[in-house]
Amino acid sequence: MSTIKDVTVPDIGDFKNIPVIEILVKPGDSVAADTPLLTLESEKATLEVPAPFAGTVVELLVAVGGTVSEGTRIARIEAAATEQPSQALPVPGDQLIEEPPPAIAASAGSAAEAVPPPNLPALSLEGESAPAHASPSVRQFARELGIEIGLVNGSGPKGRILREDLLGFVKSRSATASEGTGAVGPNLPPWPQVDFAKFGAIERVPLSRLRRISGPNLARNWVTIPHVTNFDEADVTDLEAFRLKINREGAQGDAKVTMLAFLLKAATVSLKAFPEFNASLDGEDLILKRYYHLGFAADTPNGLVVPVIRDANRKGIRDIAREMAVLAEQARQGKLKPTDMQGGCFSISSLGGIGGTGFTPIINAPEVAILGAARARTKPLWDGAQFQPRLSLPLSLSWDHRVLDGAAAGRFLNHLCGLMSDFRRILL
Interior CA angle at 239 toward 233 and 240, to 5°? 90
Which is nearer to ligand CAO, 93 or 352 (by Cβ)? 352
Query: Shortest distance, CB of residue 305 to ligand CAO, whole angstroms?
Result: 9
**Of 106, 222, 213, the residue nearest 173 (C-alpha):** 222
Cβ contact 376:263 at 8 Å = no
Residue numbers at the binding site for ligand CAO (CB under 6 A): 256, 258-260, 296-299, 304, 328, 349-353, 361, 373, 375-376, 393
Catalytic annotation, pick one of 133, 227, 401, 415: 401
Minimum distance, C-beta of residue 306 to ligand CAO, in the bound complex (Å)? 9
In the complex, the smallest distance separating the C-beta of residue 38 from ligand CAO, rounded to whole angstroms, is 52
93 or 361: CB nearest ligand CAO: 361
Nearer to ligand CAO, 40 or 255 (CB): 255
Q: How far is the CB of 395 from ligand CAO (least distance, A)?
A: 9
- Closest contact distance (angstroms) between CB of 392 and ligand CAO is 10
CB 320, CB 309: distance < 8 Å: yes
Per the annotation, the verdict on 401 as an active-site residue is yes
CB 361 → ligand CAO: shortest distance, Å?
6
Nearer to ligand CAO, 157 or 355 (CB): 355
Closest residue to ligand CAO using C-beta atoms: 352
* Strand-strand pairing, 18-23 and 36-41: antiparallel
Nearer CB in complex with ligand CAO: 5/375: 375
Q: Of 68 and 298, which has the nearer Cβ to ligand CAO? A: 298
> Where in the sequence numbering do the catalytic residues fall?
401
